[in-house]
Chains A and B, each alone.
Chain A
Amino acid sequence: MTKLLLCLITLGNNAFAATLPVAGTDIAKSWDAVYWFLVYLSLVFFVGIVAAMVWFAIRYRKEKNRKPKYIHGHTGLEVIWTVIPTILLFVCFGWGWAVYQDMIHAPANAMEVHVIGKQWSWQFVYKNGTSVTNDLYVPVNRPVKLIMSSEDVLHAFFIPNFRVKSDVVPGMYTSVWFEAKLPGIHQVYCTEYCGTVHSGMLARLIVLTDDQWKDWLSGKKIDVDSLPADPTFPGYRANRLGEGMPEAVAGSTGGQKQLTLADKGKAVVTAKACIACHSVDGSKMVGPSYKGLYGREEKVVANGKTITVKADDNYIRESIENPLAKVVEGYPPSMPPYKGQLSEEEILSVIEYIKSLK
């Protein structure tokens, strides 16, 4: 009897748990804790409210209670049902905010991958210059930070198994990060409506074991079909647009020796003559030097006011596309805007080059 009861409880629990995707990261697990807290809290309120309603409808219907009681309210009760929910709500807020802090702040040692969203595919660009469409290869147990932008309209990058999502916005960088714990394939969706093939803008997140990751880096082909399927839906293969595309391997983009992203950036700043005004060794020219720029706090003049900004991806991007928006103090506002002259990939390779000049 107890065995049966236990069995039923487990069954019920599993059915309940099956309403969420598998938790593929540690943060997903703490996210789940907040979620289930909200679910049970909601159930308490919902069951209470509906039970009272049904009970009153039965107990106090006209046939059972001909004479209603003349009541206008009850101050004590009203205070209670104002104060207690308020406290509970701020518990929800606080716990949710704490988990959110972990969700958005990537560890400093996170491996960076660039993501370019475009109608209707995902391009993943690695520091070593490898570029893959619709398949994102990452190593297991290592923090990975995605730096994302869009070539056209809004998109959003969503990995349900990791509980991470962010809009991918043209003209600026957003990011998500995760540390995958489950090797295998995880489904990625676009979740910001982007036109005709929005529902086909899918990608596969392929989490590799350490050995597989070494193989992939060294240019070996990974047999993706033999990897574990998305653990949330074990019976189904993860999908991506362009099923049947050749599997990507690192270093597959160029015929000759592959350029790293930073190398590509160096080529861009040379070709566009950026280095005519910006040195790469710290010496002062018409504009600030690239050396040591990334991550530095800069005093800049914006709309006639001096403010301090951090030279991050978004600031450098703005300074390329619209340099007069924030001019570093002590330098002339003389740089022409480069908006529309560089591709998404060129911009992020320049940023990558500046990052490399520590």
Chain B
Amino acid sequence: MAHTSSAHGSNYLNHSHGIKSWLTTLDHKRIGLMYFVVIMMMFLLGGIFALLVRWELFAPGLQFFSSPDKYNQAFTYHGAIMVFMVVIPLIPAAIGNCVLPMQLGAKDVAFPRWNLISYYVYILGATIAAATLFINQVDTGWTFYAPYSIRTGTSTTLVLLGAFIMGFSSILTGLNFIVTVHKLRAPGLTWDRLPLFIWAVYATSIIQVLATPVLAITLLLLVLERTIGIGIFDPKLGGDPVLFQHFFWFYSHPAVYIMVLPAMGVISDVIPAFSRKPIFGYKAIAAATFGIALVAFVVWGHHMFVSGQSEFANFVFSFLTMLVAVPTGVKVFSWIATMYKGSLRLDTPMLYAFGFLFVFTIGGLTGVFLAVVSTDVHLTATYFVVAHFHYVMVGGTLLAFLAGLHYWFPKFSGKMYNEGPARLASWLIMIGFNVTFFPQFILGALGMPRRYADYLPQFTSLNQVSTVGSWFLGVGFLIVLVNIILAIRNGKPAGDNPWGALTLEWQAPSPPPHENFFHEPVVTEGPYEYRGEKALMGGNA
């Protein structure tokens, strides 16, 4: 059985004291928390830009922004901040750092110093990129398409350098996790007993290590193009702007899976714990994770069906993209089947998992519309695409993150949050999200292009619905934040294993001690063997 938290006074939070002990810590849990704090600040910043963009779109014409340029800058920062600084590191760097070594039964990651360095590399990159807000705002969109990104007289170069530097953080974290999974598993923790969250983060790490260098090269080439005009992407110098898109999406499509695979990992851990049943089809889900990671590398061209690439390329990329839907479907069906004949605890993490399934299914199905070449031709670059990727990234990744946050918060804080506001927030976010983004599918199908500062009057009413939805979403996130802060200040003690979950982190005290476990845990069976007495525990509601 687990140690009770009253049996000891020392944990990773009070193990050493003072700001310096945090800034120089090598403890994966502290590093994870520091990531969490910075990413949440970036999320707030990106969220403010999102609300401003929606506010402007409440009516045609320009009301809030003084010029279209200001609007273009706002959506650029919203996209760049959310993608590079929030959604990509969100689950691997924040939750992954806290949870991964503990689920392995390890004292820490394999290279704690590199872990800290990777944190500061991220801070450096994010600072450089965010500093442009005070210098000269960027207006390229987060995709930096050439040749506009070469010509525009903004501080694009600095943002590119910022993203370039943040890429190294991603590579270092990925490498660290891969080695950790290979070398630091507890005795008995064989590969077929790994929690699916580990499988997901492991697959994600492989993508991070393999794909991010390509982004680094691409961004560097763009910087060189802007500064000394090497003529790779600029047609005026004999370059090829379509080549930039190939390079960019070669990273940025796998990046979508960097964002969504860890989310799937969280859901794969949460659903069995709150259904009190083994996960349905463990091997299929693990295999599907790798299937998705593999296919992720050969489908980038589906972003470019109307870019002027060849008909043959369109055929191949459309065909291969169909293959993404198969393992994704396998996962969704398996999660649903896990609930069948379970004993469901409808606590906040499970509510977010339901939300994830609802929203992610829409995101996945609308992806098929964009994978089929002919339907994509009409829908691409419209609000349909905007709606689709928000359903996948916000609806998928962010809801799974919130599930994970509410699932692991008691472990790492030792406190329990207030369940009432947490549930209220989950409903507000779910409703707000769908009200915000569902109308955008219709707007896009009707032809409204994305990245429009101004729009034709016939699109007004649907845009107003969308904007109102964004306010609900904003209030929902605010309640989550306040609820979490209140819980840190005066939440009730959570106990070591409030959910009765079976993965190793729950065997440690809450909050865990400096090196996680008092005794090295020994594993004798899979992570979701909910049976007998163990199947009856867990859940507040």
A interface size (C-beta, 8 A): 86
Assign chain B's interface to a size class. 35 or more
Does A182 have its Cβ within 8 Å of any Cβ on chain B? no
CB-based contact A171/B240 at 8 Å: yes
Interchain CA distance A201-B282 in the complex, whole Å:
52
CA of A202 to CA of B373, assembled, Å: 25
- Given A34-B372, A193-B141: A71 in contact with B280 (beta carbons within 8 A): yes
Query: A66: which of B343, B354, B372 is its contact (CB, 8 Å)?
Result: B343
A68 at the interface (CB under 8 A from B): yes
Surface stretch bound by A, among B13-21, B326-334, B509-517:
B326-334
Q: Within 8 Å CB of B449, what residues of A?
A: 158, 189-191, 199
Verify A21–B446 contact, CB threshold 8 A. yes
Task: Give the contacting residue for A153; candidates B151, B318, B329, B344; CB below 8 A.
Answer: B151
CA distance A96 to B451 in the complex (A): 27
- Does A235 have its Cβ within 8 Å of any Cβ on chain B? yes
Are B307 and A89 in touch, CB under 8 angstroms? Answer: no
User: Per-residue 0/1 for A85-101: is the Cβ within 8 Å of any B Cβ (1 yes, 0 no)?
Assistant: 11001101101110110
Q: Is the interface of B mostly helix, strand, loop or mixed?
A: helix
A194 to chain B, nearest CB (A): 6
Instruction: Select the residue from A21, A72, A74, A82 with max chain B CB neighbours within 10 A.
Output: A72
Q: Determine the distance from Cα of A202 to Cα of B453 in the docked complex, in whole angstroms.
A: 13
A73 near B326 with CB under 8 A, answer no
Q: Is the CB of B361 within 8 A of A160?
A: no
Min Cβ gap A297→B in Å is 17
Closest to A197 in B: B68
Do A49 and B306 touch (CB < 8 A)? no
Q: What is the CA–CA distance of A170 and B145 in the complex, to the nearest angstrom?
A: 13
Q: How far is the CA of A194 from the CA of B72 in the complex (A)?
A: 10
Q: Which of A21, A171, A192 contacts B381, CB < 8 Å?
A: A192
Interchain CB contact under 8 A, B447 and A187: yes
Looking at the assembled complex, report how far the CB atom of B57 sits from the nearest CB atom of chain A, in whole angstroms: 11
Count of CB-CB pairs between chains A and B under 8 Å: 271
A295 to B447 alpha-carbon distance, docked (Å): 35
Contacts of B454 in A (CB 8 A): 199-200
Residues of B within 8 A of A167 (CB): 306-308
Q: Assuming the A-B contacts A49-B361, A156-B381, A199-B453, are A60 and B342 also in contact, with contact meaning beta carbons closer than 8 angstroms in the complex?
A: yes
Which listed segment binds B: A50-58, A122-130, A137-145, A283-291? A50-58
> Is B188's beta carbon under 8 Å from chain A?
no
Query: Would you call A192 and B145 a contact (CB within 8 A)?
Result: yes
B382 touches A (CB below 8 Å): yes
Complex formed: what's the CA distance from A46 to B366 in Å? 11
Check if A68 sits within 8 Å of B375, measured CB to CB.
no
Is A19's beta carbon under 8 Å from chain B? Answer: yes
A81 to B362, CA, bound (A): 18
In this assembly, does B358 line the interface, its C-beta being within 8 Å of a C-beta of chain A?
yes
Q: Could you say which of B235, B378, B382, B535 has the most chain A C-beta atoms within 10 Å of its C-beta? A: B378
> Distance (Å) between the CB of B529 and the closest chain A CB?
8
Q: Add 13 more A-B contacts to A31-B374, A67-B535, A156-B306 (CB < 8 A).
A: A19-B446, A21-B447, A38-B372, A42-B369, A45-B365, A49-B357, A57-B354, A62-B345, A92-B368, A170-B147, A171-B240, A191-B380, A198-B452
User: 21 A–B contact pairs at CB < 8 A?
Assistant: A19-B446, A20-B445, A20-B446, A31-B378, A52-B340, A65-B343, A68-B535, A71-B278, A78-B284, A81-B333, A97-B315, A100-B314, A153-B148, A163-B378, A165-B381, A166-B306, A187-B456, A195-B152, A196-B68, A199-B453, A199-B454
